[in-house]
């Protein structure tokens, strides 16, 4: 549960996923990518304790970034502008 800080033991530790200074998974709002290729993070896991509206917004934005990563572009809606995004 992201709300109580990510649990480091297990998945995060085994994959050597980097945390930020607050103990959350380090991933930027630019692309939601962690330090490990193909691993993305969004919501409380990335932001720390927050609101459900942020979790929904980040989930949607992150999905678009994953789509772009896999396909080279995405037709999913952007929070900022409803246009086709190329990497």
Ligand X SMILES: Cc1cc2nc3c(=O)[nH]c(=O)nc-3n(C[C@H](O)[C@H](O)[C@H](O)COP(=O)(O)OP(=O)(O)OC[C@H]3O[C@@H](n4cnc5c(N)ncnc54)[C@H](O)[C@@H]3O)c2cc1C
CB of 14 or CB of 86, closer to ligand X = 14
For 60, the enclosing helix (H) or strand (E) is helix 52-71
Which of residues 15 and 84 has its CB atom nearest to ligand X in the complex? Answer: 15
* Cα 27 from Cα 16, distance rounded (Å): 13
Could you say which DSSP state residue 20 is in? -
- Minimal distance in Å, beta carbon 3 to ligand X? 4
Q: With contact defined as beta carbons under 8 Å apart, do 38 and 65 qualify?
A: no
The contact mask relative to ligand X for 6-35 (x = CB under 6 A, - = no) is: -----x------------------------
Q: Which two tokens stand for residue 84?
A: 């086709």
**Which residues, numbered 33-62, are part of the site for ligand X (CB under 6 A)?**
43-45, 50-53, 55
DSSP class of residue 14?
H
Residues that bind ligand X (CB under 6 A): 1-3, 11, 43-45, 50-53, 55
């Amino acid at each position: 549960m992201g709300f109580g800080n990510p649990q480091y033991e297990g998945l995060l530790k085994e994959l050597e996923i980097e945390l930020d200074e607050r103990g959350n998974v380090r991933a930027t709002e630019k692309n939601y990518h962690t330090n490990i290729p193909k691993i993305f993070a969004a919501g409380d896991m990335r932001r720390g304790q927050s609101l459900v509206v942020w979790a929904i917004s980040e989930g949607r934005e992150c999905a678009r970034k994953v789509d772009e990563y896999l396909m080279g572009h995405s037709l999913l809606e952007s929070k900022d502008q409803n246009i086709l995004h190329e990497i």
